[in-house]
Structure 1
Amino acid sequence: MIIVTGATGRLGAQIVEKLLDHVPADTVGASVRDPDKAAALAARGVRVRAGDFTDPSTLDHAFEGADQVLVVSASIRGPQAAGANVAAIDAAVRAGASRVHYTSHQAASPDSLFDPGRQHASTERHLAGQGVAFTALRHGFYTSTLEHYVPAALQTGEFRLPEDGPFSWTAHADLVEADVVSLTRPGALDGLTPPLTAPDLLDFADVARVLGELTGRDVKRVVVDDEEWKETVVAQGMPAAAAEFTLGMFRAARAGQFAVTDPALEDLLGRPAISVRAVLEDVARL
């Protein structure tokens, strides 16, 4: 049985949907915090069980009978993220999984200026030490992040954001397909993968230019001092911790930590990756 965690989340739900194109539903298990939200999967024959990374006692039941487990990294900020991911990996090993897959990040590094990069690096080290076959899927930077910034930029005509740098913008749909290849094509990916990225690197000035071309509007890139930006967004209601977390993304970008591309994703898919331009077309319509 292939177990997918977070199977009602944005990434996990798409992975399960794509996986069902390749394997029978009764060979797929969904580990979710709220089984009621996965009722549609259960109706299709997927085994749905409650599993919560922050309550490891639930995971043994959720992962029972696993041949493979895909641990979709926890959407938790700070050191607790690595602890939650480790709990899921340990449960997968206890369940007897022959391979554990983990959705990591192309910027995974103990020296990352972006907190998730440090947490992914810590989780990868733990995973590599478990004595089982593993695949750490080093995802490119999700283009879905642009959804947080594009609507406001279209309203105001400006990206008023801290200094950044190039990002390895990569679409969820491409990464979902790569993750499913890892689950269904033995030997396709092993250990730490190369960066699974689309080929283009764009900073927010590039995004503003492309957005202007797509919409015919004048969209400017305005660089704001880190602390001025933080004060502004906190005054608008963003928690200070969330603002500092986001600043880590911009600091890492301007240090070049996301300025990495690799042909591995397109080679794996056998086709061109979805472009940032295509994603921006969709985001601009939201």
Structure 2
Amino acid sequence: MIVITGATGQLGRLVITHLLKTTPSGQIVAVVRDPAKAADLQALGVHVRQADYNDPASLDTAFAGADKVLLISSNDIGNRVAQHQNVIDAAVRASAALLAYTSVLHADTSLLGLAGEHRETEEAIRASGLTYTLLRNGWYLENYTAGLKGALEHGALSGAASDGKVAAAARDDYAQAAAVVLASGQPVAQVYELAGDTAFTLSELAAETGKQAGRALPYHNLGQHEYRELLVTVGLPPIIADMLANSDFAASKGALFDDSGTLGKLIGRPTQSLADAVKASL
């Protein structure tokens, strides 16, 4: 059985969609907090089991018969290490042959503030004795394209990444990579640094957006604190604004860049281009 945690999240659903192309639905377990949100998966023959990262007993029930487990990182920033440890411990008790984890690009050396919890989780996975695959995902294109319409309305794209290169890829690209790993044969320990094929600066993102929208869209580079305040002003929770501003600043130092091409090789096709991502967004 292949067990996917966070299965009704944006990434989890895409992983299952790709898995279903190669794996019988009866061999897939979708672990969710609210089974009602997974009725469509159940209709496809996927096993739906309720569990919560904060409830070890529920994880034991959900992981029964697990051969491979995909731990999709929690979005509860600040509490993720303990939650992830619960999942790791449950995978150990289930004697899973493989534990895959969605980490962050270059987690061991990253300047990203959010990398700390990923590093601690990776250390816990290594200490567990399980065979593991670390899927060190780079930035999602959607992190930027989701805000492009707003940028056009305000007449500028703002950020704090300066001229740092961002090797972002679509969420679907990362999901397919996870599905490839889970559907592969004999589990072996692997660390994948996953990122888009072609990196871009935020100035280039603004230029591509303006080109497709038929109007000029300048990029305004701000200091980290100034950008954080702007994000709070437009309604983002302070903890998310902190994370995004820190990530942009870290990107200016190269934290979101990778040119290994590993993701494209793993999924057997080019990753989504910036132009296509902008087109889909607009």
Q: Is the structural similarity TM-score above 0.5?
A: yes
- Paired residue for 1:112? 110
- Map 1:224-243 to 2 at 5 A: 224-243=222-241
- Paired residue for 1:98? 97
| 1:13 corresponds to 2:13 | yes
Structure 1 residue runs without a partner (length 5+): none
SS in 1 for 2:100: strand
Change (3 A) 1:189 1:140: farther
Distance 1:234 1:256 in 2: 25
SS in 1 for 2:194: coil
- Paired residue for 1:155? 153
State the Cα deviation string for residues 182-202 of structure 1 (Å, max 9, x = none). 011125873222x11222111
- Paired residue for 1:131? 129
Offset at residue 241 of structure 1 (A): 2.7
Structure 2 residue runs without a partner (length 5+): none
Distance 1:211 1:153 in 2: 9
Contact 1:182 1:189 in 2 (8 A): no
- Paired residue for 1:54? 54
- Map 1:192-207 to 2 at 5 A: 192-193=191-192, 195-207=193-205
- Structure 2: which amino acid aligns with 1:241? I
Change (3 A) 1:190 1:57: same
Contact 1:157 1:217 in 2 (8 A): no
Distance 1:188 1:261 in 2: 26
Distance 1:218 1:202 in 2: 18
Contact 2:131 2:188 in 1 (8 A): no
- Structure 2: which amino acid aligns with 1:23? T
- Aligned-residue CA RMSD (Å): 1.7
| 1:222 corresponds to 2:228 | no
Change (3 A) 1:102 1:125: same
Aligned residue pairs: how many? 281
Contact 1:73 1:102 in 2 (8 A): yes
- Structure 1: which amino acid aligns with 2:132? F
- Structure 2: which amino acid aligns with 1:102? Y
- Structure 1: which amino acid aligns with 2:65? G
- Structure 1: which amino acid aligns with 2:223? D
- TM-score norm. by structure 2 comes to 0.93
- Paired residue for 1:22? 22
| 1:75 corresponds to 2:84 | no
Contact 1:166 1:256 in 2 (8 A): yes
Contact 1:168 1:198 in 2 (8 A): yes
Contact 1:181 1:188 in 2 (8 A): no
SS in 1 for 2:121: helix
Contact 1:32 1:48 in 2 (8 A): yes
Distance 2:226 2:194 in 1: 34
Change (3 A) 1:138 1:233: closer
Which stretch of structure 1 is more off in the superposition, 207-216 or 60-69?
207-216
Which stretch of structure 1 is more off in the superposition, 262-271 or 128-137?
262-271
- Structure 1: which amino acid aligns with 2:53? F
| 1:176 corresponds to 2:172 | no
SS in 2 for 1:273: coil
SS in 2 for 1:87: helix
State the Cα deviation string for residues 218-253 of structure 1 (Å, max 9, x = none). 000112233333333334433333322222111211
Change (3 A) 1:153 1:188: farther
Offset at residue 213 of structure 1 (A): 1.9
State the Cα deviation string for residues 6-32 of structure 1 (Å, max 9, x = none). 110000011111111111111111100
Distance 2:61 2:150 in 1: 44
Change (3 A) 1:196 1:235: closer
| Structure 1 segments (4+ residues) deviating >6 Å | none
- Paired residue for 2:33? 33
- Structure 1: which amino acid aligns with 2:66? A
Offset at residue 148 of structure 1 (A): 3.8
SS in 1 for 2:74: coil
